[in-house]
Amino acid sequence: METQSFSPMLDRVMAQEIQSVSWSKTMDVCAILYTNNQLEICRVSEQLQRMFIIQEDDCITNIIVESTFLAYNVGNKLYFYHLASHQKIIQSTLIKSSDKIEQMLLVSVNAKIIQEQELQAAIIPLSTTNLKNWQNLCFLKQQQINNLIFSLTNRQITYNFNGILHLGEIEHKTITQLFQLENELHCFSNQLVEIYDISLFKHQQILKYIQQLSYLNELLCFLKTSILLINSQLQDIFKCYQLNIIGPLLAFGPQETINFHILQFYQKGHCPQELVSFFQKELYNTKILQKMDDNITNSFNNIQEIMQDSLMNVLSRILIILNFFIQSKNMPFYQGLHKTPFEDLQQTIQKIQKVFSRFQIECHQTKLHLRNFFVWLNLCAIKAGNEQEVECENVNSPLNKIEVDLSKLFDFLKDNHLFQLRNLQCFYQEKIAPKSFFTKVVMQKDVEFKQSDNITKILKNVFKDNYQEIQEKQNKIEQEESFVTVNSLVRQLQNYLDKISINLKPQLLHTIKIDLSNSKIRFSEQSENSYMVSVLVNNTIFQYTYQQKSFFQSSKIQLNNKYIKELQYFEGKLIILSTNQLENQHQQQLTAYISSEDLETQNKFECHSIKDLQVSKKGLISIIIDSKKLIILSI
């Protein structure tokens, strides 16, 4: 055996302690993970060229570098980054539990992107900037990235499409590692290998179904996001109005009579002392009315923007996707059915569309009513103030330049429902239980809602600050008269979504017994329905070959007077990293060796400790020695 010292392609001492290095499968790009949870993406040539840095608060695991994107886990979450733009494109929760993801396996599938003209309007980018995830879907579509992602925890294997659409899970107790071979998923445990058939996921009809469901899933997330944004703006309006108008006027007595007293003053000139005090102490020579007008107008304008650019846009796109499903006669799962759940979804979305169309008009009219009311209050404050003082904030206010619309003011004051802003609180659903919703959209009486834990959790997420806990039996929701609210429509929507959710179960083909307990396992690249597995047990490497649905031991490797630290495959050959002694004492110097499985040539170097060895698909070896030193050499 020939032993020689090698000249590394790159030898650098890094500023921080290195935890691991992950290589791209197709490019000379690596991701260097430091112990402070910082991830540095670099191009490798004669030197490291930093592309960008990612900093996470918690531990980064399962780093995968592809040709166009970077993927990794933090806890139970998945993160996708676009390598060229350095932008985060996907952030999603892979598993419902808080279990640690031990391994993440990406299986690329070739889904033919549907080109029907009717669908194009639903898959072009949204014009808004607050719905960034839709751009993520467009990126995945344009780059034709379609991955089934298998996530292994200590209890189950979950799988989803592009980290967006949950497809199902496999429960287990002992699986420790996953490997994919063509249409098979190999699940390794200590004593056996379970082989599952995943060809179902690659069926073109099912892939089309899954792909469009992922679009639909994200659009519904945007719908909920838009509702939350509107709720936030409404909350600002209610708080401002309650704090500065309703609150001080409670001196009149019950809140329900406030508008009556103000109307009496408007019609008959009768001004009780409480109202005089309100004009003089709360409104006179202050900017409060102008600030209220600015803030409330700004909130209404934000609602209008969300409605036009986001919510109504998203509802239209959802209807396009649903129409695609309804028109697809040969779609799997629903063949032979007279009516699919997509028709029910379509009807519910159309109801939501009508409700928000009316809500949009209601917001515009309420904004005009409040502006007119503030203008009148400003005039009242000027008249109630010191007539000797010509210059005051009310006189200089832009509100003083607007003429009061008396008929609009009368309509506002006489309608307590409008004066209390309950026409909008019907949507907000705080503590008020309205008898009607806007213009009384009549709900079909034969619709039966179902309440479940799943629906409750989703509603709590959508209406965080204002969802009222409803305690009732399954399949029964107490309704006030026969009118719909946004809450009830979202519940109805979730019921129908539960009916179209899918749980695809891979078929267990067979089980192979093999003892892999207390072993370090490394896989070669797959070739013609076969691959090699090297198992390190007690400083001895056992090599197995998988072919014809079975494992065969092909060789056994032992190194005399050397301790094997790590092994990796490159182009079917095993690369072995070994040392001349165990790392019991860090101050002792080690001689490390890199050799191929034929043991014909060894490259050696001196170090104190070795942490990691990785081999890229392009033939680059990265070695972490002495914690901070990174060596890269070419095979």
Taking 80 as the threshold, does the pLDDT of residue 322 lie above it? Answer: yes
Q: Can you give the pLDDT at residue 406?
A: 92
Report the alpha-carbon distance of residue 8 to residue 634 in Å, rounded: 8
Mean pLDDT of the chain: 78
Say which residue the tokens 């110097």 belong to: 589
pLDDT at 466: 28
State yes or no: pLDDT of 261 exceeds 90.
no
pLDDT in tens, 419-465: 998 888 776 553 333 333 322 222 223 323 233 333 333 333 332 33
Residue 231, pLDDT > 70, answer yes
- Specify the pLDDT at position 462: 30
Q: Per the structure block, which two tokens stand in for 593?
A: 């060796």
Judge whether 75 and 93 are in contact, CB under 8 Å: no
pLDDT in tens, 484-538: 677 777 777 777 776 776 667 888 999 999 888 777 899 998 877 899 999 998 8
Most confident of 345-349, 385-389, 462-466, 480-484: 345-349
What's the rounded mean pLDDT across residues 152-158? 92
On the question of pLDDT at 185 being above 60, the answer is: yes
Name, of 129-143, 338-352, 546-560, the range with top average pLDDT: 546-560
* pLDDT(332) > 90: no
Mean pLDDT score, 120-134: 43
Mean pLDDT of the 557-561 span? 84
Q: In the Cβ-directed half-sphere of 121, how many Cα atoms lie within 13 Å?
A: 14
State residue 136's pLDDT score: 54
CB 486 within 8 A of CB 355: yes
- Among the ranges given (152-161, 405-414, 419-428), the one the predictor scored with the smallest mean pLDDT: 419-428
Mean pLDDT confidence for 376-387: 83
The verdict on pTM exceeding 0.75 is no
Residue 490 confidence (pLDDT): 76
Instruction: Specify the 3-state DSSP secondary structure of 50.
Output: strand
DSSP labels for 438-502? TTTPBPPTT------HHHHHHHHHHTTTTPPP----TT----STTB--HHHHHHHHHHHHHHH--
pLDDT, position 515 = 83
Q: Is the pLDDT of residue 226 over 80?
A: yes
The residue ranking higher by pLDDT, 139 or 129, is 139
Find out whether 57 and 36 touch, Cβ atoms under 8 Å. Answer: no
80-90: pLDDT as tens digits: 888 888 888 77
Q: 41-50, 72-81, 139-148, 156-165 — which is least confidently predicted?
A: 139-148
